[in-house]
Amino acid sequence: MKNIVSEQSRVYLPIVENDQVYPVGRVFCVGRNYAEHSKEMGDDPERDPPFFFVKDASSVVPSAFSDVTRIAYPMATSQFEYEVELVVALGEGGRNLSLQQAREAVLGYAVGLDMTRRDLQAQAKKKGRPWEVGKSFDESAPISPISLKTDLLAGNVAKAEIGLKVNGDLKQISSVANLTWSIEEVICKLSEVFELRPGDLIMTGTPENVGVVVADDEMLAWVEHLGEIRISVTD
């Protein structure tokens, strides 16, 4: 057999003010975790609870706070959309975690973008097919360095402003306090269907007013107390 040469390797995220790096395991995502976004997607937040999907870890693009990170406009779409999200990094795992265990499993937090090929996602939804083509593709998850959790930061993040601008224009603005399932609830519910492990990231969902970007657009995404990342889209 011919030797297989793979350029795929593990992804690491830097940790703020720390020499260690965080090895990314899996990337779990929550759909419809802000009521106003649920409505704009055509769902009834009273009737349709949030749910989970997964992005491949290879879609993560470590995005420094100080630089502009470039991502290429992806293949096969004409509706490339942003979703700013709070990302939670787990330092511990387990099954069927209690709220207390869920709190303790959080190592830190980051700012991320759940970039979406909305046209492909919409086609998949319509046909009852899996979402991967819309969600899990190269460079679809720019994520900032991780800020380690302290009790103070946990309290601040739970009610932090979350927002996104494109070319300086405000597009998304909300508060983490508007999450339908809180950070701890997300971890609890996820641990009822997957055994969680250190290295797992959770993208906790996006607030309302998602929209498209095209080549040469620059996004600024932030979560208060964590920082902001700048992501530009190239041809």
Q: Which residues of this protein are in contact with Mn ion, per CB under 5 A? A: 83, 114, 206
Of the two residues 85 and 184, which places its CB atom closer to Mn ion in the complex? 85
Copy the structure tokens of residue 141. Answer: 């998850």
Decide whether 15 or 32 has the Cβ nearer to Mn ion.
Answer: 32
Distance CA 60, CA 141 (A): 5
**Residue with nearest beta carbon to Mn ion:** 114
Cβ distance to Mn ion smaller for residue 15 or 113: 113
Shortest Cβ 114–Mn ion spacing (Å): 3
Q: How far is the CB of 205 from Mn ion (least distance, A)?
A: 6
To which residue do tokens 């787990």 refer?
90
> Which residue stretches of 71-214 are H helix?
99-105, 118-126, 132-135, 151-157, 183-191
What are the b/e assignments for 162-191, b being 16+ CB within 10 Å?
bbbbbeeeebbebbbebbbbbbbbbbbbbb
Give 206 or 209: the residue with its C-beta nearer to Mn ion.
206
Q: How far is the CB of 195 from Mn ion (least distance, A)?
A: 23
**Residue 155 or residue 211: which is nearer to Mn ion going by CB?**
211
Residue 139 in tokens? 């460079």
- Closest separation between CB of residue 81 and Mn ion, Å? 10
CB of 6 to Mn ion, least distance (A): 28
By three-state DSSP, how is residue 101 classified? helix
Beta carbon nearer to Mn ion, 15 or 57? 57
Q: How far is the CB of 3 from Mn ion (least distance, A)?
A: 38
Let me know how many helices (H) and strands (E) the chain has, helices first. Answer: 6, 18
Instruction: Let me know: does 230 contact 68? Beta carbons within 8 Å.
Output: yes
